[in-house]
Structure 1
Amino acid sequence: MTAVAMTGSAPTPAADLPALVARLRAHPSIRSKLCIADAARALGLTPASPGAPGDDAALIPAAHGWDLLAGEGFIPAFVADDPWFAGWCGVMVNLSDIAAMGGRAVALVDQVWAPGAEAAAPLLRGLRDASEAYGVPLVGGHTNLSAAEPGLAVSVMGRAAAPIRGDAAKPGEALIALADHRGGFRNFDNWCAALDAPHARLRGDLDLLPQLSEAGLTRAGKDVSQGGLVGTALMLAEASGVGLSIDLSAVRPPEGVPLERWLRAFPSFGFLLTAAPADAPEILSRARARGLAADVIGAVTPGAELRLLHGPASALFWNHAAEPYLGLARPEGLHD
């Protein structure tokens, strides 16, 4: 069988779609999200629970609009292998979660474990450096310097006036991908476009998301997480009770990056949004004006199937009604 296209956005041969789907479905970054369903069941959480579990951040009504609360924990091997970058990511990914909800971050707290002060130092430097770069303060946390191995978790608080929700995609909307291609891979499939970026650009790029939502251009989306573009699209589809089609010929990886790797990559700046087709050009224009890659890559459809398309060929990636992914699907009848 011919190999899937390996560079740039070169077309994926139609005959390879079933094999590509099989590899993506089996990949650890996509399968790892299945554990969320186990945790939700154990905690008795449903989409109707306070905070709307399953989204990028908990959504809490407040006098000013909405409070947002999110947190991230990190794989110990990642923290041990690259502690400074792990600390940076502790800030970066939390701020991405707040932006994905159409919000602006207010403050962060960290939880750090290490065998001693020397082992903790690069981890703490990464946290401090990212906090300064993004302009969001670290206001405290928890520290244990007597642990057997390094560990890290970070939490963030934010606010939103017009939330972007992971359960609000509607059939007929366009599916839009936003990403920053000005970077490279660092650790596993992590695409980092933040380390060399001017701080003002980092802050402005994240603020694009609440600007789009406050302008009424989008109301549904998610940040592209460890599950990559396809895993994130599946979470968006399931939570919204819709299907999605992704046109692989419209997906643009960074120059030289294999399409298959990009479909499962975890970018430092990457978002999926849905919007009325008439609003999509304005979203693309605003993102491209900031030097970001922005493309309509598919559409929201009725049903429960996430399908990958290439030309006339179509392959089913997942049916979330037949095989739940996170198990946090919204109730029927909420698209009105």
Structure 2
Amino acid sequence: MLGAAAFDEIARGLRASASLKAKADIGLAARRLGLSTADAVPVGDDCAAIPSGDGWLLLALEGFMNGFVAGDPWFAGWCGVMVNVSDVAAMGGRPIAVVDAVWADGEEGAAPVLEGLRAASERFGVPVVGGHTNLGCDRGQLSVAILGRANALLTSFDARPGDRLVAAIDLRGRYREPFSNWEAATDAPAARLRGDLELLPRIAEAGLSAAAKDVSQGGVVGTAAMLAECSGVAMEIDLDAVPRPADVDLDRWLASFPSYGYLLAVAPKDVAAVKALFAARDIAAAEIGEVTAGTRVSVRSGERSETIWDFAQASLITTRERAGA
């Protein structure tokens, strides 16, 4: 359990998180495009889920900060595949293929990005089937899109009051300095990576959860906030229960982007089964909170509790209208 001063400092840091506040850019773009959570393909999920036959096609895209591409170009290329397959898995799907767009100052500038893309494509078993290349730019930039398919969906819109919030995170890694990326994939064998991702569609198809989200740059609490907003619910997260490496400070961990990390809303009767699936593959999984009716995302440690975001006061990523907003 955190001491009072440590808890207050962490709560202040979460409320002021630049990574969390940056998620508001999603809502701004959605408003400009005239999109909303009420559309046939609602905005706010990890992928666009497009009905197709007896399932869904999943379409997503990731763009990378210029500083990240410049500072660690090979890993940026790797992440182009990794974060996209993670988004597909978060929706209960399996990846089909990716396409990339690479800008660089000549072939030498593009080489490490493309090598990282290729390495991840081979390791995750997801082919790169095309894209766009421009080698006449003054800096490196990268964007990667993915197509996947789901037989049963996990969405950001189906967490319900009474559900438990389960976090599943691969702790077998280390930081990829100087960024807050918890890197747990580049040294892992292909069979392990693919098998770990397969857990999410298995959970969806077994009906063990209907709502999930990939832990992103917003960290565990920021990701929970996005899930709560899309589902129109409140969440309280027990910071003492969040799985983390023994030698990593909690404040840094809560701002970290794990290679493999998911939040799932799970009915109480299914929590043990979900945790057991992850444990069988040596992935840390724990019940870290609860879903309730309301508009607030809060954190607690022991008897102390603080609100991090109240959707009645301000939206985060959606254009959903809230009472009192």
TM-score, L = length of structure 1: 0.93
Q: C-alpha separation between the residues in 1 aligned to 2:142 and 2:69?
A: 7
Distance 1:301 1:15 in 2: 27
Look up the match of 1:134: 124
Q: Residue 311 of structure 1 aligns to which amino acid in structure 2?
A: G
Give the alignment partner of residue 82 of structure 1, picking from 47, 72, 82.
Answer: 72
Question: 2: CA distance between counterparts of 1:38 and 1:134?
Answer: 33
Distance across 2 between alignment mates of 1:138 and 1:103: 18
1:265 deviates by 0.8
Partner of 2:257: 266
**Partner SS state of residue 197, structure 1:** coil
Post-superposition CA distance 1:285-325 (Å, at most 9, x none): 01000000000000001101111111111111111121111
Partners of 2:190 and 2:321 in 1: CA distance: 37
**Mapped partners of 1:22, 1:80: distance in 2:** 31
Secondary structure at 1:278's aligned position in 2?
helix
Count of matched residue pairs: 322
- Alignment counterpart, residue 89 of structure 2, candidates 92, 96, 99: 99
- 8 A Cα contact 1:30 1:264, kept in partner: no
Task: Return 5+ residue gaps in structure 1 as ranges.
Answer: 1-10
Unaligned runs of 5+ in 2: none
Q: Which residue number corresponds to residue 8 of structure 1? A: none
Matched position secondary structure for 1:272? strand
Q: Which of 83, 88, 110 is 2:100 aligned to?
A: 110
CA distance in 2, matches of 1:147, 1:203: 35
What is the distance in 1 between the residues matched to 2:181 and 2:242? 18
The structure 1 residue matched to 2:11, chosen from 21, 24, 41, is 21
Counterpart position of 1:291:
282
Of 273, 279, 285, the residue aligned with 1:282 is 273
Q: Is the 8 A contact 2:105 2:136 kept in 1?
A: yes
1:192 counterpart letter in structure 2: E
- Equivalent in 116, 120, 131 of residue 110 of structure 2: 120
Where 1:149 maps in the other structure, the secondary structure is strand
Partner Cα separation in structure 2 for residue 316 and residue 142 of structure 1: 44
Q: Please state whether the residue corresponding to 1:264 is helix, strand or coil.
A: coil
TM superposition score normalised by structure 2: 0.96
Of the three residues 186, 191, 201, the one matched with 1:200 is 191
What's the counterpart of residue 165 of structure 2? 175
Which residue in the other structure is 1:160 paired with?
150
Distance 1:319 1:23 in 2: 16
Q: Alignment identity in percent? A: 53
SS of residue in 2 equivalent to 1:156:
strand
**1:27-46 superposed matches below 5 A:** 27-46=17-36
CA shift digits 1:58-85 (9 cap, x unpaired): 0100013111000000001100111100
Deviations 1:1-39 (A, max 9, x none): xxxxxxxxxx32134433322111212222211211111
Deviation at 1:330, TM superposition (A): 8.1
For the aligned residues, what is the CA RMSD? 1.3
1:69 to 44, 59, 63: 59
Alpha-carbon distance in 2 for matches of 1:328, 1:213: 27
Q: Distance in 2 between matches of 1:103 and 1:134?
A: 14
Q: CA deviation at 1:50?
A: 3.8
